[in-house]
Structure 1
Amino acid sequence: MFSGTPAGWLGRAFEPNSSRRRPPSRRARAERGYPGPVTGEATTAYPVAWEADVVLRDGTTTHVRPIRPEDADALQRFQMRQSERSAYFRFFAPVRRLTDRELELFTHVDHVRRVALVAVRPSTEPDAGPGDEDIIGVARYDVVEPGLAEVAFNIGDAFQGMGLGSVLLEHLAAAARERGVRRFTADVLPQNGSMLAVFRDAGYAVRQQLDDGVVTVSVDLDPTDRSREVMADREHRAEARSMQGLLSARRVLLVGPGHREAGAAPAAEALLVARVLEAAVTDPGDTELFVLDAPGGVPDAPAVQAVGSWAEVPDVDLALLALPAADAVAAVRRLAGKGCRGVVVLSAGFAETGPEGLARQRELLRAAHGLGMRVVGPASYGLLTTAPGARLHASLAERPPAAGVVGVFCQSAPAAVTLGATLERRGLGVSALVSAGHRADVSGNDLMQHWLQDDATQVVCLYLESIGNPRKFSRVARRLAAEKPVVVVVAGRSGQVVPPGHAVRATRAPRAMLDEMLRQSGVIRADNTHQLMDVAQVLAHQPLPAGGRVGILASSAALAALVAEAAAAHGLVVAASSDYLSADRSAQEVVRTVEGLYADGACDAVVVVDVPVVMPRGDTLARAVAEAAARTGRTTVVSMLGLHGMPDELAATAPDGAAVRVPAFSTPEDAVAALGKVVAYAGWRTRERGAPVRPSGVDRVRARRLVEQHLRAASSGSAGSGALAPDGENGVLLDEDAVSELLACYGVTVWPARRVATPEEAVAAADELGWPVALKSASQVLRHRTDLGGVRLDLGDAEDLRESVERMSAVSRAAGLEPAFEVQSMAPPGVACVVRSVEDPLFGPIVSFGLAGDAVELLGDVAYGVPPLTDVDVHDLVRSVRAAPRLFGYQGAPHADVGALEDVAARVSVLADDLPELAALELYPVVAAEHGATVLHATARLRPATERRDPLRRVLPA
């Protein structure tokens, strides 16, 4: 971020036109908005939620947290380490030490009007204790007027150029937005280009002005498309670099549990050590293995070396821990200063054992992240890479899989064993295999970030037992799937089963939500491990098909018919079909038949099925198919008796000299199913994925102010605020006017209605709104129930309206309800729809769309989307429900204005994405007429927000 320059303090928090280091007087502080004297300042509770572990540009990690009063000594040490240039950029004077007054000012904050964040790592001072920390960076702001704060940053000289400034800006901006600050300002010396670059390159709206030799910078903190893009790019580079640091390890340390008493039964950790050492002897890869505290001693092998104590441990790239969980944290701390980039925890005994184990796991993460290391595990199977000359075998596998182009990620060790055996049986090579165990830190998201830029990996396979951050998964997977195929199998299918030890928030989302998230991400979903490998072997060894036209070559007419039926079931179109009787045809005839199927334009993909009944299978057909597939580049799958995986019988050489193999499947159905998924993915790759929806007329600032006002009023019990009484965990229900006002901030207009109780009030309301009108019960039970007498439409005069009020009053009383009604002008006729959003603890905002009606609700004909959505996502959302033909002139009805309906859905998605406090929103009905879409009723609930799993700041798992 600092381009290697020694720039340190990025801005200043004192008088703009002064070079003094003296803090402002009490009077000056009061005039500038500081909240009273330092001593005894009113403060809010320490904001624990602002603490986070982060990945820096070089792939190492650090901890960010609010400053504390006890940080005074660490802050003084930090200042004394800074260069004269860095100190000058901060104070406009060469300050070496801070005064006691300054230390108190800087470390005593109220976390509201005065906020400071520090990046810390374990202290390297000679007399430091286990919990002592060194500050490596500081970011702070001081509110100078409502919504505006003066900001300053200081990055340690030794940590400049690592992206720490941009990380602190993201976290400080998030804290500021939470406290109602919408703009930062800073005074910067013109030669401090690093400070200017931090703001300019962050993607926020920035204004600069040069006055009296000082550049005044003003930064709007509202997220923009550019700021989100910048954050995602920086996150990608940092996380990819951190994974590269693990997978490129050449010097590995194995730490065992130590020696056991004679005759004692082997501990689980001792067995882990024995397996790693056995693998290191039989296949050491291209690494050096150093071993500490191996229970059974160290074998005599060239790549294995015993070390007698921690003092003898050399610098290493990676550490494998196979020792009791209680000893793991101490072992991680002993790695300080060894250059280690990551820790693979092979042993268990952490979060899966209960609260005590969870606390131990969190302590392990904090220790590792503080030292700049990532954690794989606990209960990991380890890491494997196969690149020639750079092979890494840091796992429990007896032998590594063959080299190839498939990157494999899984979580539990048993899953890794299954996948390894399947890969070996099929002869399918991999570029890397990573087991994350309980996924305390490193996850599939991290590996996807790495594989996006890894040329050795062309296909990505993920076996997920849980998804801890679906929003980030969707964002990262979509980016990766646009470049390389991503195949995913989710244990339990619904994704709502959480294995022991996995830290996953509960979800209230419907089971279909996971399917929609994966579809929206562009990944290929496999039903099980078997299908995961089926699809992978097509993608790894065959080109993506140009379309879905399939040519079938079968050894009998019956097989050809069965394959054609299977192809149709998977959305494929049979363009050509040929059956032959292998016993009756010569080799030349077989070759001619194959050549005809591979003729230019004949089809996009070929399915070959050969199941001889009497004669044994020959090699003529296999050889002809392999050579034709290699020559033409036509996507081909086969099911031939006796062949499975990637057999040599189906290998050939392409005209450019590349080796090509045709995948073989156990059954024709497996072959066609895999091909169908590959064709669907190829279609997704060629489709326009659209741009994020950005509707016009959106007032985010006003919407934010309204939400905060309603929540504040509800918590204090204020009347007339628009927020009704809190309803338990469901949140605060807004009244109709408050909902309409909030929706208006996003350009959604609710058709006006009047609440009435008597016939006279109803007529007066109709005269005001305009005839004809609709009369609706205000009861949630009867509101949409025309069949139960809760709705009367197209009432054209006072007499009809009075009569309807009397009848509906009787209906309400019969149902045990107090009569209450709404009068509303008749909207143009059209198709009634429902647009909803809910804030889910796991998925975050979820937008749904469906047509109105009991039958639709009962059948679950609802489409879902996870904001932020693109215009293509919104297009698909409206069209993916089964009842969508009603919008497009079904049985002669007029076509609805689908564009207007999409606009409403898009605005709701942006609203839901912007406001995590929006617990639930329902627009019901939304009437899509020939021209326009009318929102006739809306309800909304608010509740205090918890931070989403994919916040607007870069963080590692807590």
Structure 2
Amino acid sequence: MTDMAHRPDTVHALLADGSAVEIRAAGPQDRDEVLRMHREMSPEDLRLRFFAANPRYAGEAAARICAPARPGYRALLAVARGRVVGVAEYTTLPAAPGEPVSADMALAVAEGRHGQGIGTLLLEHLVHAARDAGISTFTAEALAENHAVLKVFADLGLRTSRHFDGTDVRCTVHLEEDERYLSAMDQRGRIADVASLRPLLRPRSVAVVGAGRRPGSVGRAVLGNLRSGGFGGALYAVNPHADVIEGTPAYPMVAALPLVPELVVVAVPAPAVPKTAEECGVWGVRALVVLTAGLDTGQAEALFTTCRRYGMRLVGPNCLGIANTADEARLNATFAAHPPLPGRAGVAVQSGGVGIALLERLCRLGVGISSFVSLGDKYDVSGNDMLQWWESDHGTRLAVLHLESFGNPRAFSRTARRVARGMPVLTVDAGRSDAGRRAAASHTAAAATPTMTRRALFTQAGIIATQSIAELIDTAALLYAQPPPAGADVAVVSNAGGAGVLAADACVEAGLSVPVLDTALADELLTLLPPGAATANPVDTTAAVTADRLRACVDRLAAHGAVDVVLVVLVPTALATGTDDDPLLALTGTPGRRPRPVAAVLLDQEPPVRLLASTDDRAIPAYAEPQSAARALAHAVRHARWRAEPPGTIPPLSGIDTAGATAMVEEYLTHHPDGGWLDPRACAALLDRYHIPQLPWAWAEDEDSAAAAVRHLTDEDTRMALKAYWPGLVHKSDQGALRLDLEGAEEVRTAYRELRERFGDRMTGVLVQPMARRGTELFAGVVQDEVFGSLVLFGLGGTATDLLADHAARLAPLTDRDVHTLITSPRCAPLLFGYRGGQAVDLEGLEQLLLRLSRMACDLPQLAEADLNPVIARPDGVVALDVRLRILPRHAHDPYLRRLRAARTRHGV
């Protein structure tokens, strides 16, 4: 056997019980292991596998599976700790040219390893490989009594049919990936992920390696926190120079422990980390938390490889530690100075400093922590893992993330979309000062800054992205304590008119509304308040208001339905403060739950935000500044609106020729291995494969063919455009490579001569097109981000594209909901819907163009950039005038295929 952990084609993935296996292609070096696996199968398993319990079939299978690579055949192995525990294979069947390709497949799982999900995991990866090879269906023969393998096919999530023939059954599995299949993979991945994290976050035994004999060491601090936090499982220290540390028995090495700990916390110097990890892996440890910082490249790679080889989940290195405050866990494996207060917020951060700040503020606020993970350099366990853990944890009501990098944003987005429908997911949108990519290659690349890309991810996933930690805490307080608002209408109630005005301004500036109350409600409130009150909104109760009167006013507004939120702004006065008529009692002493959220602004309070205990068991968030309250309310309104809308679906598109487009791209890369910009003819042909509307065009390489194109393209009255082209030309208008509004063939001929004289042999030809009728000039484009995948951009087009930067972006694939928000997000959106009595453009045609552009980006990972500018939108249609497409040699990557990270980097969610 080779060292498979270092093979470039090795993928690691989790099984249903949380253990990990390697998935990789079989090779001649694996023959002995594959033969061993088959020979160890019981006679009954051999009969079900080969339809007869003949031992010689084991040798034949091993020879076939481990033969040198050959066309039309593929075999994948599942390997655990160097042992082959499963095999999946397919053999392509003959097919006529142009006909769908099918393959026979077979599956085997090692004796004693059934029920762990090995076969299903192998099938998922075999399906992925088959799709890449152009195979559309699998067929498999099985005995009708082989219920286990039939269940694997049925539960896979792909469309499957069965044909029974006596004691045999033939299964046909259709390999089209759809939402049902992705959801089935999600569910399997979630079960496996949560199971793999249990030894980490709910361990029954913990050992701390590197706990020093004297106070002051990181390891000793962690050991002390574990003891003082009340960890109820077996607890050990590992130190070769002590027998007892902090009242905890100590042993010289991991292998000397009286039992195999589920979790080991590593706090040793960087050079000792790889050896410690190896000892833990050999001993059977399930999870590591590596606090150590400063690992060099070799040490980091050794740590990562060891964890993958032995299937250990890893937090860190360079981290603060982990905590779980649940009664059944009581785990505080951090070196934080203060223990986390038990509560309802799950927190995961990369920065230890940010983690300490969030722990301190959430605990001081009273929200508390359900679980905390300091991800550190994030070699393995990530934000995606933690989202799935919190989703399964009934003690978590808020998910708080602070991530500095993303490795698989599309998988993260899919998980976050699901989790955010059950609980708020909050983050800080860090790194906004990045100037972005300075790409002169196209408008698309120039517009697609990292900030825009990250915000597209957050928006689509329903993640609440704040601008600071303070704003995150403000928002968390509201979401934790109060129900979600049904809308953005706010009633501002204040005992000081000027303070009410400031709060109303803050609400409007945050995107909320402060509507005038209807006359009947306003008059009713006047009967509740002291003389001199004003009730238009803001409601000025006057400084003379008593607690009872203020309570009656707030309760009436919260119950009426004229507004969605009540914001109470109180200024301390000498009239009632500290007495039974203190207006603050109006907030906290209500007899029943108010049906709508209520928040407060207390201009005299010192903490920026706090929770006021209330008799209705629903705390009132109180802020020191109106702006803080307004921002928190705006985030809550947007999140509630996102949750109220149904999840989007990817609409079916007719007329798509994916095979033809793929063939075009592959042929181009055959002749241009380094990639490049397609010429205008290839651009037009590729857009035709996706039925993206374009102006009629003709290619001309001399003045005669340019003049002749006029007669072929349009009638004599239509004016023409000439667009010069040569490889590397970026912005035609900047180069003077455009001639517009040409009348007739002679003007076209003259214009061609002018262009030829100006650019000489550099110009390889011109694109001849009729001038488009006037309409709204828009911009649509795609950029393939190395980390985030395909990003679709849309906004104001023409020469103003870069100047005004009126763009919005969404990650592909676009759903019907995504495309709607993409069209309505730019500032120019009112122009599309009939601004000031004008006609609306063809919105359905515009949506189709963006959806087809998204589909093209998903089908063709080689499409590095697509720049459609301008796109003319009119009431009678949408058409792309100018198109630029750049192709690079890239391979498809399925972001949803179940696998752990394949390399040790600082990326990954």
TM-score, with length taken from structure 1: 0.83
Q: What's 2:521 paired with?
A: none
User: Which residue of 722, 730, 742 corresponds with 1:776?
Assistant: 722
Q: What's 1:577 paired with?
A: 538
- Does residue 79 of structure 1 match 2:31? no
* 1:73, distance to aligned residue in structure 2 (A): 2.4
Q: What's 2:441 paired with?
A: none
Q: Distance in 2 between matches of 1:213 and 1:829?
A: 70
Q: Distance in 1 between matches of 2:463 and 2:799?
A: 33
Q: Distance in 2 between matches of 1:285 and 1:615?
A: 52
- Aligned to 1:217, what secondary structure does the other structure show? strand
Is the contact made by 2:706 and 2:748 (CA closer than 8 Å) also made in structure 1? no
- Aligned to 2:327, what secondary structure does the other structure show? coil
Q: What's 1:242 paired with?
A: 196
- Aligned to 2:432, what secondary structure does the other structure show? coil
- Does residue 364 of structure 1 match 2:329? no
Is the contact made by 2:474 and 2:609 (CA closer than 8 Å) also made in structure 1? no
- Does residue 227 of structure 1 match 2:181? yes
* 1:703, distance to aligned residue in structure 2 (A): 3.4
Q: Sort the Cα spacing of 1:609 and 1:618 in 2 relative to 1 into closer, same or farther, 3 A.
A: farther
Q: Distance in 2 between matches of 1:347 and 1:875?
A: 47
- Does residue 419 of structure 1 match 2:372? no
User: Which residue of 116, 140, 160 corresponds with 1:162?
Assistant: 116
Q: Sort the Cα spacing of 1:60 and 1:623 in 2 relative to 1 into closer, same or farther, 3 A.
A: farther
* 1:682, distance to aligned residue in structure 2 (A): 1.1
- Aligned to 1:690, what secondary structure does the other structure show? coil
The one-letter amino acid paired with 2:421 is: A
Is the contact made by 1:774 and 1:825 (CA closer than 8 Å) also made in structure 2? yes
* 1:754, distance to aligned residue in structure 2 (A): 1.0
Equivalences for 1:814-825 in 2 at 5 Å?
Answer: 814=758, 818=763, 820-825=765-770
* 1:359, distance to aligned residue in structure 2 (A): 1.8
Q: Sort the Cα spacing of 1:258 and 1:607 in 2 relative to 1 into closer, same or farther, 3 A.
A: closer
- Aligned to 1:945, what secondary structure does the other structure show? coil
Q: Distance in 2 between matches of 1:710 and 1:819?
A: 18
Q: What's 1:852 paired with?
A: 797
- Aligned to 1:639, what secondary structure does the other structure show? strand
For structure 2, the residue ranges without an aligned partner over 5 or more in a row are 96-100, 438-446, 516-536, 904-909
Equivalences for 1:781-796 in 2 at 5 Å?
Answer: 785=733, 790-793=738-741, 795=743
- Does residue 284 of structure 1 match 2:230? yes
Residues 470-492 of structure 1: per-residue CA shift (max 9 Å, x gap): 21221111111122111111432
Q: What's 1:916 paired with?
A: 861
Task: Answer with 446-455 or 214-223: which moved more.
Answer: 214-223
Q: Sort the Cα spacing of 1:891 and 1:853 in 2 relative to 1 into closer, same or farther, 3 A.
A: farther
The one-letter amino acid paired with 1:366 is: R
The one-letter amino acid paired with 1:137 is: G
Q: What's 2:832 paired with?
A: 887
Q: Distance in 2 between matches of 1:95 and 1:338?
A: 38
- Does residue 632 of structure 1 match 2:587? no
Q: Sort the Cα spacing of 1:193 and 1:949 in 2 relative to 1 into closer, same or farther, 3 A.
A: closer
User: Which residue of 131, 134, 139 corresponds with 2:83?
Assistant: 134
- Aligned to 2:623, what secondary structure does the other structure show? coil
Q: Sort the Cα spacing of 1:642 and 1:940 in 2 relative to 1 into closer, same or farther, 3 A.
A: closer
Residues 375-429 of structure 1: per-residue CA shift (max 9 Å, x gap): 1111222221222344222222344222221111112322222222222332331
User: Which residue of 190, 193, 206 corresponds with 1:252?
Assistant: 206
The one-letter amino acid paired with 2:746 is: R
Q: Distance in 2 between matches of 1:331 and 1:467?
A: 28
Task: Answer with 195-204 or 442-451: which moved more.
Answer: 195-204
Q: Sort the Cα spacing of 1:588 and 1:849 in 2 relative to 1 into closer, same or farther, 3 A.
A: closer
- Aligned to 2:851, what secondary structure does the other structure show? helix
* 1:540, distance to aligned residue in structure 2 (A): 1.0
The one-letter amino acid paired with 2:217 is: L
Residues 564-592 of structure 1: per-residue CA shift (max 9 Å, x gap): 1000011111243233454x444444444
The one-letter amino acid paired with 2:289 is: V
Equivalences for 1:336-355 in 2 at 5 Å?
Answer: 340-350=285-295, 353=296, 355=297
- Does residue 941 of structure 1 match 2:886? yes
Question: Matched residues, percent identical?
Answer: 32
Q: What's 2:440 paired with?
A: none
- Does residue 271 of structure 1 match 2:217? yes
Q: Sort the Cα spacing of 1:621 and 1:144 in 2 relative to 1 into closer, same or farther, 3 A.
A: same
- Aligned to 1:660, what secondary structure does the other structure show? coil
Matched residue count: 856
* 1:364, distance to aligned residue in structure 2 (A): 3.2
- Does residue 525 of structure 1 match 2:454? no
- Aligned to 2:410, what secondary structure does the other structure show? helix
Q: Distance in 1 between matches of 2:5 and 2:688?
A: 36
The one-letter amino acid paired with 2:829 is: A
Task: Answer with 628-637 or 559-568: which moved more.
Answer: 628-637
TM-score, with length taken from structure 2: 0.87
Q: Distance in 1 between matches of 2:764 and 2:10?
A: 52
Q: What's 1:693 paired with?
A: 651
* 1:537, distance to aligned residue in structure 2 (A): 1.2
Q: Sort the Cα spacing of 1:143 and 1:783 in 2 relative to 1 into closer, same or farther, 3 A.
A: same
Q: What's 2:635 paired with?
A: 677
Is the contact made by 2:488 and 2:565 (CA closer than 8 Å) also made in structure 1? yes
Q: Distance in 1 between matches of 2:894 and 2:139?
A: 29
Q: Sort the Cα spacing of 1:311 and 1:508 in 2 relative to 1 into closer, same or farther, 3 A.
A: farther
Residues 24-76 of structure 1: per-residue CA shift (max 9 Å, x gap): xxxxxxxxxxxxxxxxxxxxx99955321111112222221222322222223
Q: What's 1:835 paired with?
A: 780
- Aligned to 2:183, what secondary structure does the other structure show? helix
Q: Distance in 1 between matches of 2:773 and 2:8?
A: 49
The one-letter amino acid paired with 2:740 is: R
Q: Distance in 1 between matches of 2:609 and 2:831?
A: 48
* 1:793, distance to aligned residue in structure 2 (A): 3.6
* 1:448, distance to aligned residue in structure 2 (A): 0.7
Is the contact made by 1:740 and 1:749 (CA closer than 8 Å) also made in structure 2? no
For structure 1, the residue ranges without an aligned partner over 5 or more in a row are 1-44, 123-132, 260-265, 499-506, 715-724
Q: What root-mean-square deviation, in Å, do the aligned CA atoms of Structure 1 and Structure 2 show?
A: 3.2
User: Which residue of 687, 696, 705 corresponds with 1:752?
Assistant: 696
Residues 596-627 of structure 1: per-residue CA shift (max 9 Å, x gap): 54452253212222233667953722221123
Is the contact made by 2:314 and 2:379 (CA closer than 8 Å) also made in structure 1? yes
The one-letter amino acid paired with 1:806 is: T
User: Which residue of 497, 506, 509 corresponds with 1:566?
Assistant: 506
Q: Sort the Cα spacing of 1:75 and 1:497 in 2 relative to 1 into closer, same or farther, 3 A.
A: farther
Q: Sort the Cα spacing of 1:294 and 1:545 in 2 relative to 1 into closer, same or farther, 3 A.
A: farther
The one-letter amino acid paired with 2:398 is: V
Task: Answer with 511-520 or 360-369: which moved more.
Answer: 360-369
Q: Distance in 2 between matches of 1:494 and 1:187?
A: 59
- Does residue 543 of structure 1 match 2:486? no
Is the contact made by 1:831 and 1:928 (CA closer than 8 Å) also made in structure 2? yes
Equivalences for 1:206-605 in 2 at 5 Å?
Answer: 206-211=160-165, 213-256=167-210, 271-293=217-239, 298-299=244-245, 301=247, 304-307=248-251, 309=253, 310-335=255-280, 340-350=285-295, 353=296, 355-369=297-311, 373-493=312-432, 509-575=449-515, 576-582=537-543, 584-605=544-565
Q: Distance in 2 between matches of 1:423 and 1:330?
A: 37
- Aligned to 1:864, what secondary structure does the other structure show? strand
- Aligned to 2:845, what secondary structure does the other structure show? helix
* 1:543, distance to aligned residue in structure 2 (A): 1.0
Q: Distance in 1 between matches of 2:552 and 2:178?
A: 60
Q: Sort the Cα spacing of 1:738 and 1:856 in 2 relative to 1 into closer, same or farther, 3 A.
A: closer
* 1:96, distance to aligned residue in structure 2 (A): 4.2
- Aligned to 1:118, what secondary structure does the other structure show? strand
Is the contact made by 2:702 and 2:752 (CA closer than 8 Å) also made in structure 1? no
Is the contact made by 2:798 and 2:870 (CA closer than 8 Å) also made in structure 1? no
- Aligned to 1:670, what secondary structure does the other structure show? helix
Q: Sort the Cα spacing of 1:165 and 1:750 in 2 relative to 1 into closer, same or farther, 3 A.
A: farther
User: Which residue of 647, 665, 669 corresponds with 1:707?
Assistant: 665
- Aligned to 1:677, what secondary structure does the other structure show? helix
- Aligned to 2:217, what secondary structure does the other structure show? helix
Is the contact made by 1:79 and 1:97 (CA closer than 8 Å) also made in structure 2? no
Q: Sort the Cα spacing of 1:102 and 1:80 in 2 relative to 1 into closer, same or farther, 3 A.
A: closer
